[in-house]
Amino acid sequence: MKIVIAGCGMVGRELTQRLSLEGHDVTAIDSDPRRIEEVGNLYDVMGVVGSCAALGVQRDAQADKADLLIATTASDEQNLMACLIARKLGAKHTIARVRDPDYTRRQDKNGSLLDFLSDELGLSMYLNPEFAAASEISRLLRFPTAHRVDVFAGGRAEIVEITAGADSALPGLLLKDLSREFGRVLVCAVQRGDEVYIPGGDFRIQAEDRISITGEPSEIARFLRRLGIQKKKADRVLIVGGGRIAYYLAVSLEGAGTRVTIVEKDEDRCNTLCELLPGAGIIHGDGTDHELLGELGAENMDAIVALTDSDQVNIILGLYAASLGAGKTVVKVNSGNLIDLSEKSGLGSVISPKHITANMILSYVRGMNAASEDSNVEAIHRLCGGKVEALEFSVGREVEGLCGVPLKDLNTKRSLLVACIIRGGKALIPGGLDSLHRGDHVIVVTTEQGLDDIGDILE
């Protein structure tokens, strides 16, 4: 497909890299010539210097021939204008990154302002990275022992990543015995050091393996309780950094009855947060000040979440929180190298808004690229440091050689697992005699890259 990416910041660069690697014809637009030179050299894509909201620039980028334009600049208004221009020129689809809560906040029974204006603006999709990141953190605080929680099929199924602690019942367990002993869940991926496995029934778990478990949320919670490693949800949360993610997260947590304290060093932002979040404790101060954290009782918090603008500061805060014995630490990191380092350090949970956004957009692109409009990618999540993809497919038609055939008789690609089937609103852990049917949602876990259609799981 021909894809135009407007804005080469963190999200734009991530999308440029991943979409170009998947073989799409990518053109990048940015007003900074250095950024265009960098992405052109790194990813071998075409580049156009200028404002994506300028008609001439979009003509130079051939937006009129684009299957998709993705606007990810720092300006919401510029992104929306770019999408409007692209659709008027003839682009088939547009996606805008929109961060201002006033655009995305629900205003009446018809939804948000953007819901109201989407048709007029020609938007195929809009997304808010900060809101998506806050939602992911909120899920992590529901499963404090989890490193990450990925949601599928509208919350009917999840994949939760935990560490097989040496003092738990997991080390030495064969996976074929797991469901019989601990409930209806499935281990769908294992990371052991730098190695990644899509395991079979004879795989034996070792201490310190990072294992990804899929199933219904209630079954996963039951599994963790039976193992004795599920802690109660976080009731007292300290957030360091008062940006948009902190705001969205605080709204979500307060709605669930959690007591929230936010430390923010900018006085004007503190005043704004006091107005927006009257039920939260807003502290004007430096979140890196250990004395201040001590006065706030950081060591007694159920969770500490580091959301400052600096990756390095967030990592240091996360390490300090872990040294205090805080129940859960979550840190925001956007640098790819620092994400890898943080995850290997046992820091806790690491979230990256740019990766979350890229995964959402990539799901849309894979769906567009599917061989059939009735068998699309609904969601993509990257597991095990990006080495494994978990994809949700909707099966909208009878796929020849696939539907109705027992899973044990399917000639699927190597290192691929049909991990979960959502049918009739229920998540099922499939066995060898189960088969796929029209109307199913299917979670596939694989080390293969670039699957677009449920039929692609076959050799």
The predicted pLDDT at position 323 comes to: 84
> pLDDT at residue 70 above 90?
yes
111 and 19 in one domain?
yes
**Max CA-CA distance within the chain?**
65
Total count of domains within the chain: 3
Interval 359-372: pLDDT, tens? 889 888 887 765 54
387 and 306 in one domain?
no
Give me the amino acid identity at 108.
D
pTM of the model: 0.83
Q: Which of 25-34, 145-154, 245-254 has the lowest mean pLDDT?
A: 145-154
Q: Per-residue pLDDT averaged across 33-37, rounded?
A: 96
CB 280, CB 263: distance < 8 Å:
no
The predicted pLDDT at position 447 comes to: 93
DSSP H helical ranges for 281-349: 290-295, 311-324, 336-344
314 and 385 in one domain?
no
397 and 300 in one domain?
no
The predicted pLDDT at position 375 comes to: 58
Q: Per-residue pLDDT averaged across 89-103, rounded?
A: 91
Mean per-residue pLDDT of the chain: 89
Q: Residue 181: inside a domain, yes or no?
A: no
Q: Residue 167: inside a domain, yes or no?
A: no
> pLDDT at residue 41 above 70?
yes
123 and 8 in one domain?
yes
Last residue within a domain, chosen from 296, 327, 358: 327
Q: Residue 344: inside a domain, yes or no?
A: no
CB 73, CB 7: distance < 8 Å:
yes
CA distance linking residue 416 with residue 425, whole number of Å? 24
> pLDDT at residue 449 above 60?
yes
CATH of the domain at 306: 3.40.50.720
The model's confidence at residue 348, banded by pLDDT at 50, 70 and 90, is: confident
388 and 272 in one domain?
no
Last residue within a domain, chosen from 84, 106, 127: 127
> pLDDT at residue 274 above 80?
yes
| Residue 93 structure tokens | 């689809």
Q: Residue 45: inside a domain, yes or no?
A: yes
Q: Residue 162: inside a domain, yes or no?
A: no
Q: Which of 236-250, 329-343, 354-368, 423-437 has the lowest mean pLDDT?
A: 329-343
408 and 312 in one domain?
no
DSSP H helical ranges for 200-243: 217-227
Q: Which domain holds residue 305?
A: 236-327
> pLDDT at residue 346 above 70?
no
Q: Per-residue pLDDT averaged across 48-73, rounded?
A: 96
Interval 128-175: pLDDT, tens? 989 999 999 998 888 888 888 999 998 899 999 999 988 888 899 899
Q: Residue 374: inside a domain, yes or no?
A: yes
121 and 57 in one domain?
yes
- The beta-carbon contacts of 202-206 under 8 Å, at least 24 apart in sequence, are 202/174, 202/175, 202/176, 203/174, 203/175, 204/172, 204/173, 204/174, 204/175, 205/164, 205/170, 205/171, 205/172, 205/173, 205/175, 206/164, 206/171, 206/172
Percent of the chain with pLDDT over 70: 95
The predicted pLDDT at position 110 comes to: 67
Interval 292-323: pLDDT, tens? 998 999 988 999 999 999 999 999 998 888 88
> pLDDT at residue 272 above 90?
yes
Q: Residue 286: inside a domain, yes or no?
A: yes
Count CB neighbours of 359 within 10 A: 19
Give me the amino acid identity at 110.
N
> pLDDT at residue 105 above 80?
no
90 and 30 in one domain?
yes
Q: Residue 389: inside a domain, yes or no?
A: yes
| Residue 186 structure tokens | 């499935």
Percent of the chain with pLDDT over 90: 55
DSSP H helical ranges for 54-128: 55-60, 76-89, 101-104, 113-121
Last residue within a domain, chosen from 302, 327, 352: 327
